Amino acid sequence: MSAFLWNALSFIVALGILVTVHEFGHFWVARKNGVFVKRFSIGFGKALVRWRDKHDTEFVIAAIPLGGYVQMLDERTDPVLPKYQNLAFNHKSVWQRISIVAAGPAANFIFAIFLLWIMYLVGVPEVKPVIQTTQTTSIAAAAGIIENEQILAVNGRAARDIRTANLLLVEQLGRAEIRLTLLHRESLQVREVVLDTRAWQFDPEKEGVFTSLGLNLLQPQATSTLALVTPGSAAEQAGLRAGDTILVIDNEPITRWEQIDRIIKNSPETTLRLEVQRDNEIIIVQATPALSQHADGFSQGLLGIVPMASPWPEDLRYIQRYGIFAAAKEGIDQTWQLTRLSFSMVAKLLTGDVSVKHLSGPIAIAQGAGTTASMGLIAFLSFMALISVNLGVINLLPLPILDGGHLMYLVVELIRGKPVSERAQEIGFRFGALVLLMLMGIALLNDISRL
């Protein structure tokens, strides 16, 4: 199956599940509050499958799998006979309507907890964040961080693994300083250092958060043995195969992958003589890296090979696994951390600490879904938990077209004792739709530019 089809299928499965969960939250609470639900639709457009239940609700699976909706009986959109007014959404109390609207995002947060609970019951492979080196003249070097120190906490919050440490550091964007708690793995000395981040520049499209601070983590190293030769590439045309080990390039003995990478990038359209070990035989290969031209005008050589990585140091790896109740607590804690980070990123977008060029749209989500699905169940569940939290957070934003906008109007109604005028709501919905479409357009353009 091609990468495109795999990504698309993974995206449809993930989004379909998450949208169903979100809309079921609205549906279930509406039913509990005595509201008649006319339609429960997953997707938009032409109905592919439809059926009705005993309550006469129509369930639909539609052709465009990019969302869904729950249509309730409401006098503001449909004529309602007097005898059925008690079943209409607009005839329920303000608190009942608030609970129905808030149930969608709440369902996403609960589902994220459930996914993480399953993950921690099964066991999540984790790696400790241990520093191998610091880059000279970097923020980390200025703070006096040395090699073989493990990050224990970021601003007092525990960072037991690389993933958690990464999220906690991203959350600190815009702060003047970051306090790290470190453990030296030989002396076992624990100390705190303060990173001066007033001049911190972090571009997630170009580098990771650790690298941006000058931290190089201890991790598997690229070797001179090839893990993959890209089909149709210059390497395949030269006869290179996965499993080959490059020993010499143009009389330069190879001991590190960085040498191979440097030579190839500096030799576009130049024939290179490679001595390669294949099984127990030494063979000679003539390879000519193709010319790769970047959008900014920069060019370099491209051969089409991917190195094999050395194994993780065993003392860094561990399995995070808990019992039923401890896994539930971990799921709640992780969901709260993701929620806090998501709201923090929204605030940083408004303050300018995070650029809109980092927004991601459906293409990036599809690629993430495909990649994590390929990595296995735990990675895919983790991805779905993250997207579920993001879906909940986005829907709580106070844009009138979203659940958060409806909640905003209902809170105003609760305070004033009467609903917001239909005229004001209509203006708000148009404004909300414009802002949402603008953000979606920016995200989609960002996705396209990264292809």
Q: Where are the alpha helices (DSSP H) in 296-419?
A: 324-351, 362-375, 377-395, 403-416
Q: Do domains 125-219+312-320 and 222-310 have the same CATH topology?
A: yes
- Report the length, in residues, of the chain: 451
Radius of gyration of the chain (CA): 27
SS (H, E, C) 116-147: HHHHHHHCEEEECCEEEEECCCCHHHHCCCCC
Q: Which residue among the candidates 23, 149, 171, 330 is catalytic per the annotation?
A: 23
222-310: which CATH topology? Pdz3 Domain (2.30.42)
CA 136, chain centre distance (Å): 30
CATH for 125-219+312-320 is: 2.30.42.10
Which residues in the chain land under pLDDT 50?
1
pLDDT of residue 3: 66
Residue 140 C-alpha from the chain's centroid: 26
Please give the structure tokens belonging to residue 324.
């039923």
Tokens of 399: 């844009």
- 23 catalytic residue (yes or no): yes
Are the beta carbons of 108 and 18 closer than 8 angstroms?
yes
Coil, helix or strand at residue 311: coil
How far is Cα 408 from Cα 94, in angstroms, rounded to an integer? 12
Amino acid identity of residue 278, one-letter, is R
Whether 10 and 366 have beta carbons less than 8 Å apart is answered as: yes
Kindly state the helix (H) or strand (E) to which residue 265 belongs, with its residue range. helix 257-265
The DSSP symbol for 361 reads -
What is residue 297's DSSP assignment?
S
* Contact status, residue 197 vs residue 176, Cβ threshold 8 Å: yes
The string of pLDDT tens digits covering residues 88-100 is: 998 899 999 999 9
Query: CA 143, CA 193: separation in Å to the nearest integer?
Result: 6
Residue spans per domain, the chain = 97-123+322-451, 125-219+312-320, 222-310
According to the model, what pLDDT value does residue 275 have? 93
As given in the structure block, the two tokens for residue 128 are 């400790």
Tell me the C-alpha distance between 401 and 394, whole Å.
11
Task: Show the tokens assigned to 215.
Answer: 């931290």
